[in-house]
Every structure is written in C-alpha cells, then in structure tokens.
C-alpha cells in the first residue's frame, strides 16, 4: 500500500477511510456511483450522472450533479493513501478537468476528497529517489498547473487533511469551502524540502507573510476556523453539509453566463498576478468586452424588464 511521508506524520491511529456512497472496488472506467446508503455524509443531494471522459479513471470519481446537471463533481478517490497526490491521480485530474472545460453543460466544478482527507499531500514514495536533473529537466510537478488555468470556476470542498500538495491543490481552486474538522498545512520543511506546487506563493498571497512564513518554516497546521479568519477559506460548514453547500454555490455560479463568468475569473486573478495599474487595465478591457456579448444585452434588458435573465453563453 502506497503511503506518503506526510501521511506518516499523522497520528498512527488514523486508518484509511472509505467514502460512503461510492464503490471502491469497481471495473476500470466506471464513472457512476454505487447505490447510496441512507444519509451518506458526502454526496450530491440533487442527483448525479456519469460524465463521459473517454477513458478510465482509477483515482477519481467524476459526475455531473445539481438540479440542472450543470455542476461537475470530481472526487479524489485514493482512500488507502488518504488521497495522496500521485502522478497518476494528477494526470487523471488534468484529463477530468479538460473534459469539464469542454462540456457546454458544465458551468462550475466542485473538487472534493473524503471526510478523512481532501488530500494528505503529494506521494513522497514516488518522489523520494528523484534527482535534481530529473526534476529540472522533466519539469516535475509542472503538470499540476493545469488546475489553476481552467477557465471555469472550481470550488474546493475540503474535509479532513489538506496538507502539502493537498493544501496547494485547494489553493489552485477559485473558492475554498471547509468542513469544521479540516486542517491546512505546508509541512514540507519536516521532510527536508519546501513546497513545490505554489505553496509559498499562493499561501502568502492568501494569508499574508507572517502566517505563511510560520506555517512553511514550522510545518504547523491551522484549523478550518483559523483558515477562514486568515482569508484562506471562504466559509466553514459542518462536515455533513459541506458538499451540499459547495454544490449550491457552484449551481449559483453556473446559472450565470459562462462567457462572462470566465471574464470575471480572469479579472479577479489579475489582482494577484499583476500590479494595480495593470490589473485595472485588465478589468477595464474585460468590462468593455462584455458589451460585445449577447449575455450582457440580455442581462441588462432582463433587469430593466424585472425578469430573470436567460443567458445563452454568447
């Protein structure tokens, strides 16, 4: 059984958990969940259907959910290793996100794990024997950036551990909702290395230099409530209500114009990647661009006529 060094640093009494409501022994390529038991802690409440990805998933469960089936739901499904982010899992995640990105029905995406762990870190067993030459010439972890460049909004629904690469993965998403028992941390320093997938950069931008420096230099974790107070997390929910809340937010986002939503996401992201002057220029350019869309015309017309807008994503 694969284990990670980050997992090994967790209390020894922690046992791998299964995600209630989903089959854990299934043929490759099965995307549809098994029959749900009564009141499972985490599931899409309004129904879900399989999302065709054209190939098998070994480490993910991929569905469409929500009342309009316009929310993509991706669950990390490597329970025996607390969803450690091995190369195979990340490759599958990139493929699943590409499928969601090209699906005209999907307006937003929810990424989640299990109640025990969103993701307890990268797979240290895979990387422990890598050399500098292999990392540098092979662009090690470069593929992880696929998550952050998806144009559709991604909501991370984090229960349990989000440590190391798991915390970095959550921060690549656009919104983070956390369960009350979630824990966030960048403990790479305890392994003799540093974060390598954006941890030092995104964490600092989210919580400020002092707290980010403390977390990175000590390896200490913060709770869900502390993460919310620091600005890393938007909202905190009871464990059993977290996924429902994330899906509800995704449905609200998906009801808007997908075209304009992508513009809004690009504009907000510019605030973290450019100067204030350049960011304002980006915002103005995208604001003007909305006036070339049918959805801007429909949105304003619907407002004047006091009715709900019927966006066509054009």
**Catalytic positions, written as ranges:** 122, 165, 168, 188
Report strand pairing: 60-65 vs 48-50.
antiparallel
Token pair 């995307």: residue: 31
Q: Residue 222's closest CA among 190, 189, 184?
A: 184
Alpha carbon 31 to chain centroid, angstroms: 19
**Three-class HEC string of 166-229:** HHHHHHHCCEEEEECCCEEECHHHHHCCCCCCCHHHHHHHHHCHHHHHHHHHHCCEEEHHHHHH
Sign of the torsion angle spanned by Cα atoms 57, 247, 167, 206: positive
Tokens read off for 176? 């983070």
Backbone angles phi, psi at 192, to 5 degrees: 80, 25
Residues paired with residue 74 on neighbouring β-strands, in sequence order: 62, 111
- Spatial contact of 19 and 77, defined as CB atoms under 8 Å apart: yes
Rg (CA), the chain: 20
Confirm if 164 and 185 have CB atoms less than 8 A apart: yes
In the block, residue with structure tokens 């409501």: 21
- Alpha-carbon distance of 301 to 291, in angstroms, equals 13
- Whether 177 and 113 have beta carbons less than 8 Å apart is answered as no
């Amino acid at each position: 059984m694969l284990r990670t060094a980050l997992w090994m640093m967790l209390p020894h009494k922690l046992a791998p958990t299964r995600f209630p409501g989903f089959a854990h022994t299934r043929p490759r390529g099965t995307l549809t969940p098994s029959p749900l038991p009564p009141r499972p802690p985490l599931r899409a409440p309004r129904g879900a259907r399989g999302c065709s990805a054209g190939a098998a998933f070994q480490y993910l469960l991929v569905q469409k959910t929500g009342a309009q089936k316009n929310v993509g739901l991706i669950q990390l499904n490597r329970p025996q290793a607390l969803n450690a982010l091995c190369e195979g899992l990340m490759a599958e995640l990139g493929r699943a996100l590409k499928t969601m990105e090209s699906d005209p029905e999907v307006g937003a995406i929810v990424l989640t794990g299990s109640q025990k762990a969103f993701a307890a870190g990268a797979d240290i067993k895979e990387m422990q024997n890598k050399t500098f030459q292999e990392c540098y010439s092979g662009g090690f972890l470069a593929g992880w950036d696929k998550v952050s460049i998806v144009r559709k909004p991604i909501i991370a629904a984090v229960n349990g551990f989000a440590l190391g690469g798991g915390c970095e993965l959550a921060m690549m998403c656009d919104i983070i909702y956390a369960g009350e028992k979630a824990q966030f941390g960048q403990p790479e320093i305890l392994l003799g290395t540093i974060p390598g997938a954006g941890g030092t950069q995104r964490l600092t931008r989210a919580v400020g230099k002092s707290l980010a420096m403390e977390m990175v230099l000590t390896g200490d974790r913060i709770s869900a409530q502390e993460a919310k107070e620091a600005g890393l997390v938007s909202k905190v929910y009871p464990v059993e209500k977290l996924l429902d809340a994330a899906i509800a937010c995704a449905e609200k986002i998906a009801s808007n114009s997908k075209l304009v939503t992508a513009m809004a996401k690009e504009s907000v992201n510019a605030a973290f990647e450019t100067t204030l002057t350049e960011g304002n220029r980006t915002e103005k350019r995208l604001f003007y661009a909305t006036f070339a869309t049918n959805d801007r015309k429909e949105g304003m017309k619907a407002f004047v006529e006091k009715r709900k807008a019927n966006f066509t994503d054009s």
